[in-house]
Chain A
Amino acid sequence: MSVTVGFIGLGIMGAPMALNLLRGGYPLWVHDRRAEAAAPLAAAGARVCSSAEEAARPADVVFLMVADTAEVEEAVLGPAGVVAGAKPGTAVVVTTTTSPEASRRLADTLASRGVELLDAPVSGSEADAAAGSLTVMAGGRPEGFARVKPLLERLGSVVHVGPAGSGQLAKGCNQIVATLALEGVAEAFAFARQNGVDPVKVREALLGGFAASAVLAAQGERMLAEDFRPGFKARLHGEELGLVLETARRAGFALPGSALAAQHINALAGGAGGELDSSALIRVIERMNSRAKKGEEQ
C-alpha cells in the first residue's frame, strides 16, 4: 500500500528533502507560505496546496521543515494547520530543530488528538539534503518510528535515539560537538598563522590524524578560502546553541565550553557577521589576537 506524504516548509533544506521523498515514489502534497517556493516541487510532480491543513488532509505522514519552534507550532496547531486536516493515525515528523521540551509538549498535545509526533532533526548541509546523505536523529514511540523509517531513509542515515524529544536532545549534542570543533579549528588555524605556519598545510596534516573531523574538512576549508557565504548562518547557529544552553540552564547543568563558544558567536553576529557562515568565527579569534601593525606601534 502506498503511503501519501505531506511536506510543509520548502526552504533551502526542505525543498531537496521533499524532492528525495518524491523520487522515492511517494505521492507528495506540499505547502510553503511563499507560493514560489513550491514551483520546483510542482515541476517534479508534487501537488501544491494553499495551506498546511490541505497538505495534511490526504497524508499518512506529514513532514515539517520550517524555521523554528514558533513556526512549527503555528503550522501544526494554528488556523488551517496540520491538525485541522489530519485524520487520526497520521504521523507528523518535525525535522526542524526545536528544544526537546517543546517537542515533548507538542507530542502530548497531538497524542490527545490521535496524531503521532516524531521529532527528527537533521544534521548536514544543503548538499547533503540534495544527496540524501543527512544524519537524522529521531525521537518518538518505536511503533511510530518503524512506520516512518523507510521515508526517513530517503533523507539520509537514520538513528532512533529514544522517546519523544530524544531526537532534539541528540541534535543538541551534535551542536555541542560541532560548535566546539569549530572553535578548536578556528583557534588552531589562527594560532598557526600567527606563528608563521601555513594553516593550509596544518589542515592537511591534521586530516590524517586524531583531530580529523567533518568540521575540520568542510568548515576548515571555508576558513582558509575565506568563503563565508552561508551555509549555516552565524545568527542561526547562535540561536540553535541558545536552545541547547537553555535546556542546560533548566536542568541545572554546566556546559562551560559551549557557553564560551556561544559568546564568540555573539561577537561575530554583532558585526555584520550574523549573515555569514559560522565558520567566520575565526575572525573573532583573529580580532582577539590582533597586534598593532609595524609603524602603528608607539
Chain B
Amino acid sequence: MTANVGFIGLGVMGRPMALNLIKGGYRLRTYGRRKETVDPLVAAGAAACGSPEEVARESDIVFTMVTTTQDVLEVVLGERGVLAGARPGSVAVDMGTISPAATRQIAARLAAAGVDALDAPVSGGGTGAKNGTLSIMVGGKPEVFDRVKPLFSCMGTNIVHVGPSGAGQVAKACNQIVMLTTLLGLAEAFTFAHRTGLDPERVYASLAGGAADCRIREVLGKRMVERNYAPGIEARLHYKDIQIALTEAHTLGMALPGTALVTQMFNALIGRGGGNQDSSQLWEVIDAIAAPRS
C-alpha cells in the first residue's frame, strides 16, 4: 500500500525533502505559507492545500519542516493545524529542530487524539536535503519508526532510531554541541595561523586526513578560508538551535561551558550584523578579538 503523505513547510530544507518523497513515488499533499514555495511542488505533481488541517485530513503520514518551536506549535496544535484534521492512526512527523520538552508535549497532545508522533530532526544542510543524504535522528515508538522508515529513506542515508519521543531532538542538540564547538576551534585555528603569518589555505589543506579532520573543516573551513559567507546555514538558525541545548542543560542543572562560550561568540556575530550570513563568519569575531593588525 502506498501511503498518502502530507508535507508542511517548504523552505530551504523542506522543499527538496518533499521533492525527494515525490521522486520516491509517494502522493503528496502540501501546504506552504508562500505561494512561490508551493508552485515547484505542484509542478512536480503535489496537491496544494489551504491549511495544515486540510493536509492532515487525507494523509496517513504528515511531515512538518518549519523553523521554530513556536512555528511547530502553531502548525500542529493551532487553529486549522494538523491536530484539527488528523485521523486516528495517522502519524505526525516533525523534522524541524525544536525544544525536546515541547516535542514531548506535542506528542502527548497528539496521542490523546490517537495520532502517533515522531521527532526526526536532520543534519546535513541544504545540500544533504537536495541529494537525499541527510542524517535523520528519530524519537518515538519503535513500531511507528518502522512504519515511516521507508519514507525517511527517500530523504536521508543515515537514519537512526535514538529512543522515545524527544530523543531525536536531544540527539540533534548533541549534534549542534559538537558542530558549533568544533566551529569555534576552527575559527581559532585559522585566526592563529593567519596571525602567525601563515596562509590559512595551506593550513586548511594540511589538516585534511589528520586526527582533526572533519566535515566541518571540509565545508565550513573552506568558507572561512575563502571568506565566502553566503549561507550555507545562516548563523541565526544555528544560534536558535544552540539555545535549545543550553535551555535543556539549564533545566537539567548541568554545565555546557564550551557551548555557552560559543553562544556568546554568536551573540557578537549577530550583533555585528552577521545573523543572515553563514556561521563560518564566526572566525571574523575571533579575528576581531585579536589585536588590530599594524
Contact = CB atoms under 8 A, between A and B. Distances in A.
Which of B253, B256, B265 has the most C-beta atoms of chain A within 10 angstroms of its own C-beta?
Answer: B253
Nearest to B269: A252
A270 B253 contact: yes
A152 to B, nearest CB: 33
A213 B47 CA distance: 69
Interface in B235-294: 249-250, 252-257, 260-261, 263-265, 267-268, 270-272, 275, 285
B255 A259 contact: no
Contacts of A263: 249, 255-257, 260
Contacts of B256: 263, 266
A93 to B, nearest CB: 31
A262 B253 contact: no
A265 B37 CA distance: 45
Nearest to A271: B253
B255 A264 contact: yes
B254 A259 contact: no
B271 A252 contact: yes
B264 to A, nearest CB: 4
A248 B260 contact: no
Interface residues of A, number: 23
Nearest to A255: B264
Q: Specify the main secondary structure of chain B where it touches its partner.
A: helix
A249 B253 contact: no
Given A253-B268, A254-B268, A267 B260 contact: no
Interface in A219-270: 238, 242, 248-249, 251-256, 259-260, 262-264, 266-270
Contact of A266 (B255, B263, B264): B255
Nearest to A257: B264
Given A256-B261, A260-B260, A262-B260, A269 B267 contact: no
A268 B254 CA distance: 8
A284 interface: yes
Given A260-B261, A263-B260, A252 B267 contact: yes
A284 B254 CA distance: 11
B253 A269 contact: yes
Interface residues of B, number: 20
A274 interface: yes
Contact of B253 (A242, A253, A256, A274): A274
A251 B253 CA distance: 26
Interface in A58-80: none
B270 A266 contact: no
A253 B271 contact: yes
Contacts of B271: 251-254
B99 to A, nearest CB: 16
A32 B275 CA distance: 45
Given A263-B255, A263-B256, A266-B250, A252 B261 contact: no
A267 B255 contact: yes
A244 to B, nearest CB: 12
A292 to B, nearest CB: 21
A263 to B, nearest CB: 4
Which of B255, B263, B265, B285 has the most C-beta atoms of chain A within 10 angstroms of its own C-beta?
Answer: B255
Contact of B268 (A252, A268, A270): A252
A142 B239 CA distance: 39
A259 B243 CA distance: 12
B272 A254 contact: no
Interface in A261-298: 262-264, 266-271, 274, 284
B267 A248 contact: yes
Contact of B264 (A254, A267, A269, A284): A254
A256 B264 contact: yes
Which of A238, A268, A270 has the most C-beta atoms of chain B within 10 angstroms of its own C-beta?
Answer: A270
Contacts of B268: 252-254
Contacts of A249: 267
A266 B250 CA distance: 6
A16 B253 CA distance: 32
B277 to A, nearest CB: 13
9 contacts: A249-B267, A254-B264, A254-B265, A255-B267, A260-B257, A263-B256, A264-B255, A266-B253, A270-B252
- List the 10 shortest-distance A-B pairs measured between CB atoms, nearest first: A270-B253, A252-B271, A263-B255, A267-B255, A254-B268, A254-B264, A259-B260, A252-B270, A256-B264, A263-B257
Given A249-B267, A269-B253, 4 more contacts: A253-B271, A263-B255, A266-B253, A270-B252
Interface of A: 238, 242, 248-249, 251-256, 259-260, 262-264, 266-271, 274, 284
